[in-house]
DNA sequence: CAAATAAGAGTGTATATGCACGCATCTAGC
DNA sequence: GCTAGATGCGTGCATATACACTCTTATTTG
């Protein structure tokens, strides 16, 4: 009777799994806001930036540019953001929030807050910073 | 001149961001194996189980059942897994690896190992267990 | 200035996920 | 034995991502 060696957990898969669970949780908390946590976050980013180009926003959050473009298109279709040509550069487009986008963002804040607080509660003080550290290390920069 | 309060990082978004980066890294390491890390992991799971039903596999890795079904369909299309009706239950289907699936899995192991080792190196000993702990807490169970 | 390069975007294609429904089959109760 | 749940799955629809290309418009250089 030979004992099987302890199976090593794939770090990437563990991350994906935790991410699925966390996303389901946040999205569930945000039901009724009309936003998913990913969209909420994008709006918040654009809001902080004032106006920003697809490429810059993608770089800022380590996302593939074309993926970001498609995400922004969805928000644009919902009239939460709008793009306008950049002054003196026919290539770039600057994205910014519409009035509806700002309202929507503000209206969703409490739901996000609720999810975030609950998540902080689950992760005791010990693990919360660890997670940020992990994310930072994987990305090679601060989160 | 008033200072803005420190912005609170959304735990879910931090996780998603780290996951994107980790997935890109693993997938890059596994180029040439014909498998993405997600598919590699699925094959490994089925291999360990011997044969398993979609629903059970989905539950095991906390994935939405229909998502799992679609992932398995892709592997089936590639002839890496195959499904057969369960004895005495016309509902269930049992998935197991094909010969090609087993070969493919074995052939991909070194690439996965390389990615995993490198990732372990990046995350010093301190953070690695923390990540598993975080995942476990979010999921409410061991990873 | 013309050619080469860089910068900013969009499209096609493929995965990975989740939710709302709907269908078939099994199993417990009565 | 028949009906009400419980089980196991599939489909339609929508998002989120990534990669390989391609196009257009600046910029830089010889």
- Residues A40-74 have pLDDT tens digits of 999 999 999 999 999 999 999 999 999 999 999 99
Closest-CA distance of chain B to residue A89, Å: 30
* Residue A9 near residue B143 (C-beta atoms within 8 A): yes
Please state, for a pLDDT cut of 90, what percent of chain B lies above it: 69
pLDDT level of residue A6 (50, 70, 90 thresholds): confident
- Phi, psi dihedrals of residue B51, rounded to the nearest 5°: -150, 145
Q: Which residue has the tokens 């992932």?
A: B71
Q: In this predicted structure, what is the pLDDT of residue B131?
A: 72
Nearest nucleotide to B83 (CA to C1') is: D9
Q: Which two tokens stand for residue A104?
A: 């929507």
Q: In this predicted structure, what is the pLDDT of residue A124?
A: 72
Q: Please give the mean pLDDT across all residues of chain A.
A: 90
Q: Which of B136, B129, B11 is nearest to B62 (CA)?
A: B136
Say if residue B78's pLDDT is above 80.
Answer: yes
Q: Which two tokens stand for residue A30?
A: 């945000």
Q: ∠ CA A18-B7-B131 to the nearest 5 degrees?
A: 25
Q: Which of residues 76-115 of B touch A (CB under 8 A)?
A: 112, 115
* Residue B57 near residue B71 (C-beta atoms within 8 A): no
User: In chain B, whose CA is at the least distance from the CA of A18?
Assistant: B135
Q: In this predicted structure, what is the pLDDT of residue A127?
A: 66
Say if residue B60's pLDDT is above 70.
Answer: yes
Q: In this predicted structure, what is the pLDDT of residue B122?
A: 84
Task: Give the ranges where B8-51 is alpha helix by DSSP (H).
Answer: 11-29, 37-49
Half-sphere exposure of residue A102: CA atoms within 13 angstroms, side-chain side: 9
Which residues, listed in sequence order, are joined to residue B93 by a DSSP beta bridge? B85
Cβ contact (<8 Å) for A15 and B18? yes
Mean pLDDT of A27-49: 97
pLDDT level of residue A142 (50, 70, 90 thresholds): low
pLDDT tens digits, residue range B109-142?
999 999 999 988 888 765 666 677 777 777 766 6
Tell me whether A118 touches chain B (CB under 8 Å). no
Tell me whether B143 touches chain A (CB under 8 Å). yes
Q: In this predicted structure, what is the pLDDT of residue A136?
A: 73
CA separation for the pair B71, B60 (Å, rounded): 15
Which residues, listed in sequence order, are joined to residue B101 by a DSSP beta bridge? none
- For the CA of A2 and the C1' of D16, the distance in angstroms is 44
Q: Which of A3, A67, A142 is nearest to B14 (CA)?
A: A142
Q: In this predicted structure, what is the pLDDT of residue A29?
A: 97
Say if residue B2's pLDDT is above 70.
Answer: no
Mean pLDDT of A6-30: 92
Q: In this predicted structure, what is the pLDDT of residue A1?
A: 62
Mean pLDDT of A12-16: 92
Q: Which residues of A touch B115 (CB under 8 A)?
A: 12
- For the CA of A110 and the C1' of C10, the distance in angstroms is 36
Say if residue B69's pLDDT is above 80.
Answer: yes
pLDDT level of residue A126 (50, 70, 90 thresholds): low
Q: In this predicted structure, what is the pLDDT of residue B12?
A: 92
Q: Which two tokens stand for residue B32?
A: 């040439």
- The minimal CB distance from B139 to the residues A9, A18, A137 is found for A18
Cβ contact (<8 Å) for A123 and B138? yes
Cβ contact (<8 Å) for B38 and A15? no
pTM equals 0.91
* Residue B129 near residue B43 (C-beta atoms within 8 A): no
């Amino acid at each position: 009777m030979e004992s099987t060696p302890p199976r090593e957990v794939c770090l990437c898969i563990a991350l994906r799994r935790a991410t699925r669970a966390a996303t389901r949780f946040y999205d569930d908390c945000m039901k009724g806001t009309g936003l998913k946590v990913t969209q909420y976050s994008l709006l918040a980013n654009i809001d902080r930036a004032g106006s920003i180009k697809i490429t810059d926003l993608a770089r800022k959050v380590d996302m593939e540019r074309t993926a970001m473009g498609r995400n922004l298109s969805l928000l644009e279709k919902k009239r939460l953001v709008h793009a306008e040509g950049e002054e003196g550069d026919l290539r770039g487009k600057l994205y910014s929030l519409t009035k509806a986008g700002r309202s929507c963002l503000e209206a969703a804040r409490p739901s996000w807050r609720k999810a975030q607080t609950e998540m902080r509660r689950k992760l005791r003080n010990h693990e919360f910073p660890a997670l940020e550290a992990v994310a930072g290390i994987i990305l090679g920069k601060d989160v």
